[in-house]
Structure 1
Amino acid sequence: MQIKTAISLLAVGLLLSFATQAEVSSPTGPLPKWELGAGVAGLSLPDYPGADQSSSYVLPFPYIIYRGERIKANRDGLRGLLIEHRRWDLDISVGGSLPVNSSDNDARAGMESLDFSFELGPSLRFKFYDTPSQNLQLRFNLRALLAVDGFPAFNYEGWLFNPELRWRQHLTDSLTWGASLQMRYGSDDYHQYFYGVANRFATASRPAYQAEEGYNSSGFGLNLRWLANADWRLNVAAAYIDLHDASFNGSPLFKQNNGVYFGLSVSRILWRASTRVGADPSD
């Protein structure tokens, strides 16, 4: 398992920041419109879903919270709220994945490396209940995969449909835990990006492979966050994904049908806005 250290990037920070409410003593009261800080995250994860090799990362990141009326940056990432209702809303959400150097992965040796990538698209959220102490949401995420090819150039690499059930509960003013269940279904070009083998990269042990559209994976995750005080916070997250019956399981790059992800981050708020806004249940 390799240990890799990366320079902090805004995009990585947005993907890794686990946002929490700023006021330990009053999670339901008015909060600063924006907060800025910094943190460090440790991650352990497969090189890509279905890989039999993993990597560990130590990544400094900017901690960014913005509680705008339509634009929000919080523990759920960057969101652009389009339509809001008491029981549902529609927004634009952003995700992504870290790059993979093919020279560090035996199955991909000699192939092109996987670039840092963003996933961007609409998210429809149904709120079964949404209170200051607890919430349960069903999300339907549809995202396009955009691989960074010499920033600011991007390559479109297909789409992913990702239904997700999320639950979160405030145990105390300073301690919150949550869980999620999800399923993923991808287009043929989305799967080709990760699991396809072009003829020029085919070998005796790695035949050419053309991926198809279909079922990707399912999984569950757990997370815990602790606010030590108004400035310091600790976040722990773990996830398991199951890739049995994945549509790409015939790929020579597909090596195992499960994966475990683990993340730990510590961050500190350095600056806050004097302007206050109402609390968001997603904080």
Structure 2
Amino acid sequence: MRVWLWLLAAVVVVTAGAGIYFLRPVNGPARDLTLVGDATRGAYLIRLGDCISCHTDAKNGGAELAGGAALSTPFGTFFAPNITSHPEAGIGKWTLAEFSRAMSDGEGPEGHLYPAFPYENYTLMSDQEIVDLFVALQATPPNPTPSRPHEVGFPFSVRPILAGWKNLFFRPQRYVADAGRSEEWNRGRYLVFGAGHCVMCHSPRNALGGIEPGRELTGNPAGGTGGRAPALTAAALAAEGYDETSLASVLSDGFTPGFDVLGAAMGEVIADGTSHWSAEDRAAVAAYLLDKG
């Protein structure tokens, strides 16, 4: 009897310890939110972060940034919310601090955010970028279209369990440049892993939805709404005939070295996002991905 009591006590202790670990808050470094935002720089960040293609239901005639089309995943279907300045339907009532927590720590006013929203990547953005982006979004025309609820079944519909996912896979931090590489290479790496979040779609994920360590940018064969996302490694890109010039070019016009045109989800990313980037940023991504920095 005493043995069973000890075993029961051990189970209780282990369970309690695991619960404390997996439910603990996951927060990154404090941000300086006293900075003065610039809406023009923020408008560029809207393009850099691909906000428009995700948060606009263009196929159904939705207004810009007033809510996105369905994103199908193994865990359910997600709908990007209205992020216009509308006070009820959008984020018009959000404070800068609330916006910063969402972008940096994946924590919204109503609790944990699903990682379908790439806060894993946006956490790398600088303090100034966060402030600039907030100012730009607050300057958008308010649209009353209500955000569509996610269609996620139990247990994934229980948001508190996302704390466990964060403790397993999320490390909020800011981008740190590699002093041994060029400024262009570092800019490209930041865009791929940070604001541009290429790594989010072009990497395989495990059964819990975390990116498989060490396999970043090796492609995501699982498909989903956007279809198969190919590898973006230097070897894979070279095999497709890309060099720095053509890789930067495809991010502008969608034309591949094989005379195809990128469509589907990547076509939307190019049309609404990368084609609006500066030539320098497209070149930086190409330099990083082909490791020519």
Greater strand percent: which structure?
1
Task: Give TM-score scaled by structure 2 length.
Answer: 0.24
Task: Give TM-score scaled by structure 1 length.
Answer: 0.25
